[in-house]
């Protein structure tokens, strides 16, 4: 018996169930999402090299102007306590003009590539300092894990493919490379920049293609990591059902739905018996289908006023009978038939209603 108990306990703790919506939300708040860094890297590289392909000439001219200005003017300046800070600030400004557009493009590409993978997400808990992150035992487990093996295989594959792509591009442009020594510095620099941009775009496209299966694997691995055991699912359901806020919201929703259904029945009622200000009870009677009149709606105060308003809008007759309205409200629920001790009083009201309807006809 003890062995059977241990086996059952083992299977109840085995993580075989898909994560619930609540578990997914909780892990998302912690920053644990399915995300491929390869997608970010490839997309950033592609956007940056495309940017350099289109605007590299302008940036190159600015960079060339910085070098020209530096060697023609700054090298001849007298270095003093006043000139050094000014020189330093001018160099920083001119360097920022060249570098800042590339950094901005990289930042936008990185944000966009993350957004298309995980959507809008701000998880401060993911950057909190945790001692478990520097635990050597856990680190060793991560190094000698299936994930680490997959990452190694991916890296080797990427190195081989990237090397092949770069070699192919250089081989196809070998004649241009061999005549670089015969060109001017400007033309040679432009030729090298063009080749570098072509290789960068080609490598980025290759990495982007390789990132697609990696992203799919990350989603699979993430779903596997957050799987729950049957006991976890049961505990979560108990906690949710025991949460007063969730209970309150569920109860409020049920009351709203019941109120809506009740109000939808008022236009079909034969009569609404009122207090007249505090109570309202709507009755329906079909002699061919019902043995006795049925309560289709009832309410007190605000709900009573709403029932009377709907009855008025739908030409349902309202009859004032204080003792009968109170008795019906106290002794019956929605869907109940009229109690036997109130048959006579209700029959009189219905007879009065039918007489009015016949007169109207």
* ∠ CA 155-220-26, rounded to 5°: 115
Residue 164: the pLDDT is 93
Distance CA 3, CA 190 (A): 76
Residue 135: the pLDDT is 60
Residue 292: the pLDDT is 82
What domains does the chain contain, in order, with CATH numbers? Answer: 19-120+129-235 (no CATH), 247-360 (3.40.1690.10)
Burial grade of 321 (CB within 10 A; 0-12, 13-18, 19 or more): buried
How many of the other CB atoms lie within 10 Å of CB of 176? 14
pLDDT tens, position by position, 219-276 = 888 788 777 777 777 777 777 665 566 667 777 787 778 788 878 878 888 888 888 7
Residue 220: the pLDDT is 84
Residue 46: the pLDDT is 92
| Of 355, 361, 327, residue with least CA distance to 341 | 327
Cα distance from N-terminal residue to C-terminal residue, the chain: 80
| Of 69, 137, 133, 129, residue with least CA distance to 98 | 69
Residue 108: the pLDDT is 92
Residue 278: the pLDDT is 83
Within the chain, which residues score under 50 in pLDDT?
Answer: 1-11, 360-361
Residue 266: the pLDDT is 81
CA separation (Å) from 7 to 10, 19, 74? Answer: 5, 23, 80
Contacts of 52 (CB under 8 A, 6+ apart): 59, 102, 193, 197, 200
In which order are the strands placed within the sheet that holds 279-284? Answer: 294-300, 279-284, 271-274, 317-320
Q: Are β-strands 271-274 and 228-229 bridged in parallel, bridged antiparallel, or unpaired?
A: unpaired
Residue 104: the pLDDT is 93
| Phi, psi of 80, deg, nearest 5 | -130, 175
CA separation (Å) from 303 to 18, 66, 249, 275, 322? Answer: 44, 79, 20, 13, 17
Distance CA 25, CA 47 (A): 32
For residues 218 and 34, is the Cβ–Cβ distance under 8 A? yes
């Amino acid at each position: 018996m003890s062995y059977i108990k241990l086996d059952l306990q083992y299977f109840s703790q085995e993580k075989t169930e898909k994560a619930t919506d609540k578990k997914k939300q909780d892990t998302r708040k912690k920053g644990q999402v399915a995300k491929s860094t390869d997608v970010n890297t490839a997309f950033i590289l592609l956007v940056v090299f495309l940017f350099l392909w289109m605007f590299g000439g302008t940036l190159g001219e600015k960079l060339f102007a910085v070098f020209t200005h530096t060697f023609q003017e700054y090298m001849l300046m007298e270095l003093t306590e006043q000139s050094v800070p000014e020189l330093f600030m001018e160099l920083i400004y001119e360097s920022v003009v060249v570098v800042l557009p590339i950094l901005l493009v990289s930042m936008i590409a990185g944000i966009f590539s993350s957004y298309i993978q995980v959507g809008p997400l701000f998880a401060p808990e993911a950057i909190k300092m945790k001692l478990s992150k520097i635990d050597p035992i856990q680190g060793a487990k991560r190094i000698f894990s299936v994930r680490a093996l997959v990452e190694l295989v991916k890296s080797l594959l990427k190195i081989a493919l990237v090397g092949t792509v770069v070699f192919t591009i250089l081989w196809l442009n070998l004649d241009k490379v061999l005549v670089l020594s015969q060109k001017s510095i400007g033309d040679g620099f432009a030729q090298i920049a063009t080749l570098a941009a072509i290789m960068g775009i080609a490598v980025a496209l290759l990495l982007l293609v390789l990132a697609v299966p990696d992203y799919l694997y990350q989603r699979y691995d993430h779903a596997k990591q957050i799987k729950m055991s049957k006991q976890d699912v049961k505990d979560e359901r108990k906690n949710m059902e025991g949460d007063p806020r969730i209970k309150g919201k569920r109860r409020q929703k049920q009351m709203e739905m019941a109120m809506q259904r009740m109000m939808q029945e008022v236009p079909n009622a034969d009569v609404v018996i009122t207090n007249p200000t505090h109570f309202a009870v709507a009755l329906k009677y079909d002699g061919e289908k019902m043995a006795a009149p049925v309560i289709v709606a009832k309410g007190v105060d605000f709900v009573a006023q709403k029932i009377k308003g709907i009855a008025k809008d739908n030409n349902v007759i309202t009859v004032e009978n204080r003792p009968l309205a109170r008795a019906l409200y106290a002794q019956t629920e929605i869907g109940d038939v009229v109690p036997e001790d109130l048959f006579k009083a209700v029959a009189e009201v219905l007879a009065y209603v039918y007489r009015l309807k016949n007169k109207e006809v």
